[in-house]
Amino acid sequence: MIPAIPAVLPALLQRFDIPGPRYTSYPTADRFVEAFNAVDYGQALVQRKTGVSTPLSLYVHIPFCESLCYYCACNKIITRHHSRSAGYLRYLSREMDLHTQQLGQGQTVTQLHLGGGTPTFLSDDELRELMAMLRRSFTLAPGGEYSIEVDPRTVDAARLRTLAQLGFNRLSFGVQDFDADVQKAVHRIQPFEQVSALMAQARELDFDSLNMDLIYGLPRQSPESFARTLEQVLQLRPDRIALYAYAHLPERFKPQRRIHSADLPGAAAKVAMLAQSLAAFRDAGYVYIGMDHFALPHDALAVAKRQGRLHRNFQGYSTQPDCDLIGLGVSAIGRIGATYSQNAKTMEEYCDHLGQGRLPVVRGLALNRDDLARRAVIMALMCKGQVIFESIEQAWLLDFRSYFATELEQLRDMADAGLLLLDESGIEVTAQGWFFVRAVAMVFDRYLQADRHRAKFSRII
């Protein structure tokens, strides 16, 4: 059980609730450059094949959705024409072939995630085809983590059975909120009874872990309405809960322009919803994994947290070791060795690259030594809430207090505010500081410190 977390003091909120990255990577994806292209990515794949192999993870992006959720900031294509997915699978197959030409057939995969969009937009036959394609190209290791994002409106008991037969052992249900008025305001109607029945059926099928996504700060939400949603969530008792703060950025994400700013809860209401969520999950026996994530003590994520094996990747917190990630599909992001890469963001450009026999990578980044050292510090903060200077010094052959002298000086204000403990041996985030761990990590972000345009990121609370 996590220790009690005090309420956020208004003065701290005003001072440290600032826009900042979520640090699913460092450097963050907005730092990717077009100078890194498919040729550079191909070289990284060759180096992986000839070098010491680290564990491998796969992400497959399915961009299609039948209807638009107004809060959504994902790369998606809204269509009711399910015929479009058949053509998309053919291009995914070509992309896999181009990877196996570089890596060879049968690279062992220990983690697979299907995201979107709506992966369950695909029919059962298309899901079977996709999994057959993946198994032809890669070896899915026994006991690996194989997860899929599920829109409750697109599945029934029979479809859940198909997912289990295909080898998926983890499901993530997109719920966000059970309140009818909130669901109407965000254009996503899915009654509690529907989700409850699906989760019961999923448990009968013996999936290893069931996750539920929630969002606070949505239009027409209030602390009172969200308290009712929390009660319903705890009735269902998912193994994991991901609790996100809604980031209203209509200038960046066109669907959000359909949300009226006047309907959004204020800062005090958002803090109240976060505080009551933390208290409710703690009292129900959930472990606070970090930032957005909670898990029951038996869940693999909580076990990894206890054992110090927690990692963070483009999908959030992970139990898998610090592994390479191949991103497949339009806009998918990957990581191979000391490089990041991203596929073309539009379907037209993605298909054009593959049609010409090229990997669809259009931008990325080759990390330098400073990037790698700072990534180690930031990920230690995000995953463990502490940095031990000696471990960074030994790994990167640097003197921490000298190399990061400016950053350590900046942290003193946070230490004085009670967000962290700072001594000669390291940094430790306090219970209060976990609210603002992104702000702590931002101090070590060399790119962000020189950037005057931080408002492009969501706020911390």
DSSP structure string for 157-220: HHHHHHHHHTT--EEEEEEE---HHHHHHHT----HHHHHHHHHHHHHTT-SEEEEEEEES-TT
Which residues lie below 8 Å from residue 330, measured CB to CB, with a gap of 6+?
61, 63, 75, 343, 344, 345, 346, 347, 350, 360
Establish whether 213 is an annotated binding residue. Answer: yes
176 assigned binding-site residue: yes
* Number of Cβ atoms within 10 Å of the Cβ of 370: 12
Say whether 59 counts as a known binding-site residue: yes
Cis preceding-peptide flag for 115 (omega within 30 of 0): no
66: helix, coil or strand? coil
Same domain, yes or no: 169 and 199: yes
Q: Is residue 81 domain-shared with residue 96, that is, in the same domain?
A: yes
The span from the CA of 401 to the CA of 409, in Å, is 10
Question: In angstroms, rounded to a whole number, what is the distance separating the alpha carbons of residues 277 and 381?
Answer: 22
Would residue 291 count as lying in a domain?
yes
269: helix, strand or coil: helix
Q: To the nearest 10°, the Cα dihedral for 39, 41, 47, 49? A: -110
3-state DSSP: the chain helix, strand, coil percent, rounded to 5? Answer: 45, 20, 35
Ligand-binding annotation for 157, yes or no, is no
**CB of 213 closer than 8 Å to CB of 176:** yes
Q: In CATH, what number is assigned to the domain containing residue 11?
A: 1.10.10.920
Distance of alpha carbon 290 from alpha carbon 435, whole angstroms: 9
Domain endpoint, select from 300, 326, 352 = 326
Residue 339 lies inside a defined structural domain of this protein: no
Query: Residue 338 domain-assigned?
Result: no
390 vs 330, 386, 424, 426, CA distance in Å? 41, 12, 10, 8
Tokens of 172: 């993530």
Of 238, 208, 213, 206, the C-alpha closest to 300 is 208
333 labeled binding residue: yes
Asked if residue 270 is part of any domain, the answer here is yes
**Is 452 assigned a ligand-binding role in the annotation?**
no
Known binder of ligand: residue 188?
A: yes
> CB–CB of 32/299 below 8 Å?
no
Query: Does 247 count as an annotated binding residue?
Result: yes
Rounded to 5°, the CA angle 287-176-15 comes to: 70
What is the per-residue pLDDT for 3?
38
Identity of the amino acid at 6? P
Say how many domains are in the chain: 2
Query: Domain of 114?
Result: 29-326
Same domain, 318 and 449: no
Q: Are residues 316 and 431 in the same domain?
A: no
280-283 LR contacts (CB < 8 Å, sep 24+): 280/227, 280/230, 280/231, 280/234, 281/234, 281/241, 281/243, 282/1, 282/2, 282/4, 282/5
CA 285 to chain centre: 23
Q: Which has the closest alpha carbon to 64: 52, 45, 81?
A: 81
Output the tens digit of pLDDT for each of the chain's 461 residues.
333 444 556 567 667 777 788 898 999 999 999 999 999 999 999 999 887 678 899 999 999 999 999 998 888 999 988 889 999 999 999 999 999 999 999 999 999 999 989 999 999 999 999 999 999 999 999 999 999 999 999 999 999 999 999 999 999 999 999 999 999 999 999 999 999 999 999 999 999 999 999 999 999 999 999 999 999 999 999 999 999 989 888 888 889 999 999 999 998 898 889 888 988 998 999 988 877 889 999 999 999 988 888 888 888 888 877 789 999 999 999 999 999 999 999 999 999 999 999 999 999 999 999 999 999 999 999 988 899 999 999 999 999 999 999 999 999 999 999 999 999 999 999 988 877 888 999 999 999 887 655 556 666 66
Give yes or no: residues 293 and 158 share one domain: yes
Q: Which of 293, 326, 359 is the last residue of a domain?
A: 326
Q: What angle do CA 344, 348, 349 make, to 5 degrees?
A: 35
CB 326 within 8 A of CB 45: no
Query: Do 19 and 48 lie in a common domain?
Result: no
Does 72 belong to an annotated binding site? yes
Q: Do residues 45 and 5 both lie within one domain?
A: no
CA dihedral in degrees (416, 19, 319, 302; nearest 10)?
Answer: 60
Co-location of 45 and 18 in the same domain? no
Are 298 and 406 found together in one domain? no
What CA–CA distance (Å, rounded) separates 118 from 190? Answer: 15
The reply to whether 370 sits in an annotated binding site is no
Residues 14 and 68 in one domain: no
Q: Could you give phi then psi for residue 7, rounded to 5 degrees?
A: -65, 150
The encoded tokens of residue 411 equal 């942290």
Same domain, 69 and 107: yes
Question: Distance between CA 342 and CA 30 in Å, rounded?
Answer: 11
Do 297 and 413 fall within a single domain?
Answer: no
State both tokens at 233. Answer: 């969530």
Instruction: State the helix-helix crossing angle for 223-236 and 192-204, rounded to 10 degrees.
Output: 20
Residue 455, pLDDT score:
52
Tell me, what CATH number does 65's domain have? 3.80.30.20
Element (H, E) at 108: strand 107-116
Residue 53 covered by a domain: yes
Report the candidate in 153, 164, 244 with the shortest Cα–Cα distance to residue 191: 153
Strand partners, 101: none
Q: DSSP code of 364? A: E
Contact 275, 10 (CB under 8 A): no
149 is in an annotated binding site: yes
Count of other CB atoms within 10 angstroms of residue 231? 11
